[in-house]
Chain A
Amino acid sequence: RAGAEIKEIEPQLERLEAEMKILLLPKDPNDNRNIMLEIRAGTGGSEASIFAGDLLDVYRKYISAQGWQSTIIDSSPGDDGGYKNVVMEVKGDMVYSKMKWEAGVHRVQRVPATESQGRVHTSTATVAIMPECDEVDVNIDPKDIEISTMRSGGAGGQNVNKVETAVDLLHKPTGIRIKCTQERSQLKNKELAMKMLMSKLYDMENEKREMEERARRGSQVGTGGRSEKIRTYNWKDSRCSDHRIQQNYPLSQFLNGDIDPMISAMIMKDQEEKLQDLAQEAAAT
């Protein structure tokens, strides 16, 4: 009788042990944060911009399915569509924990819409995922910031009613320049631009730390560097390949915004590596 009970309990024990191990893993302190998502067209001219726009569409679908909210902060349209650059704020539950796996260089191989002779081109777009932060995380000296607006010069005040509320912010020490045009209130644009700047600075510090951490671990899940090629999307083969885990997915799945399987695979791989790391450390002591 006891023997039968043991047979029942054993698999449960194993499962609970596995769950416990995962709960004991060091957590990424940024996992529950909202993010600034930035997509920048890379090599490939106007086709790269179109691809950046395609990526944005995919993320929008995913964000909607997750029940998150998104707001575009700034964008520069591409010559034939899409974006040279687009920044979007994404808010919701545990956004960073999932979206962080999209950071890196995405490569596309297809015949561009603008291509008249049917040749396949390879273009890239870079996705940056920056956890949102506040003054506690990042200290910015007001003296380091130069703000300019479209309206610089001229009388101002009651004399003028120009609704150009765009704000251009330059962080002198790092040279980071941020333009914010989204809101109809200048002060709100200034706030948003500051938020973006803080996210970028925080992200820079984070990235450095994470790269060191992953290099130490000899991680295959990637160094998290923004110049790392993480995926290739091949239109002819209808395939999406993730280079970090050497897995392929149907392209249609990706284009439908159904990227959860890829993200879950990355999370699992990351957990496996962390578990191995933990085991090695334990063995060494």
Chain B
Amino acid sequence: TVEQAHDFATKLQRRMKHEPIQYILGQWDFLDYTVAIRSPLLCPRPETEELVMMIVNDTTQSPVHILDVGCGTGVIGISLADMLTDATVRAIDIEPVAIQTSNENAKRILGSQTEYRYQATLASAENFSPDRRFDVVVSNPPYIPQLDMKTLSKDVLHFESEQALCGGVDGMDVIRTIIRQLPNWCNPGGICWMEVDPTHPQLIQEWLEDSKSLDLGVKFESSYEDLYGKERFVKLSVQ
């Protein structure tokens, strides 16, 4: 139809300006789910699919209470809520669009169960004081080091939220905040999984194993490679 042709042409124009296709279509697939994706939220990457599957395969506890820090579109927390038995998820982000989109995606995927299994609220990692403790904390925090930001391609740099991408000078700002908060957020024996920049696993391990860091109460368990052979994921535990 004429409307369809016009609509298609408009979308093509946007794509020619390097706008991410997920924003143009308003949705994309993540694992088995189709989720709403809105500007300026980070479009989920394949590595994050791997993170979720790793957690699913590693988590046997049930019921399990999960915190998703910097939830964005909500895909991590929502997938976990769907795939793990008896899982509840709290999700936080500093971007209001993230809260709206996460809660919307949760309803899409979890349906009526959303009410008692998933909740996204506006909060920053520094200020978040939950009324409960968690068994698993998961995050795909902004982790790109400042200097790498200008190497990014147009579709990332000009469209996706800088807040969701840049982690400060070494990319570790938000990661450090999260790690410091873990003893306040977690049950003893709680686990923290994060997707990070490949320079980070070593930095994190060195920091946590330094004698001066013992009072942090967080132990470096392991790092894992992604499909492309990059050290992409870390698993930490709370004493």
Contacts and interface: CB of A to CB of B under 8 A. Distances in A.
Interface string A119-146: 0000000000000000000000000000
Contacts of A155: 148, 151
Interface in B46-63: 46-47, 49-50, 53
Interface stretch (A49-57, A185-193, A198-206): A185-193
Nearest to A183: B29
B29 A184 contact: yes
Contacts of A186: 46, 49, 227
B32 A149 contact: no
B112 to A, nearest CB: 25
A94 B153 CA distance: 50
B165 A158 contact: yes
Interface of A, secondary structure class, is: loop
Given A149-B227, A163-B28, A158 B144 contact: yes
Contacts of A151: 46, 228
A156 B226 contact: yes
A5 B31 CA distance: 66
B45 A161 contact: yes
Given A155-B148, A158-B143, A163 B21 contact: yes
A157 B30 contact: no
B160 interface: yes
A165 interface: yes
Interface in B154-185: 155-156, 160, 164-165
Given A149-B227, A151-B228, A187-B53, A157 B28 contact: no
A163 B22 contact: yes
Given A155-B148, A185-B29, A160 B42 contact: no
A43 B145 CA distance: 55
Interface of B: 20-22, 28-32, 42-43, 45-47, 49-50, 53, 140, 142-144, 148, 151-153, 155-156, 160, 164-165, 195, 197-198, 226-228, 230, 232
Interface of A: 147, 149, 151-153, 155-161, 163, 165, 183-188
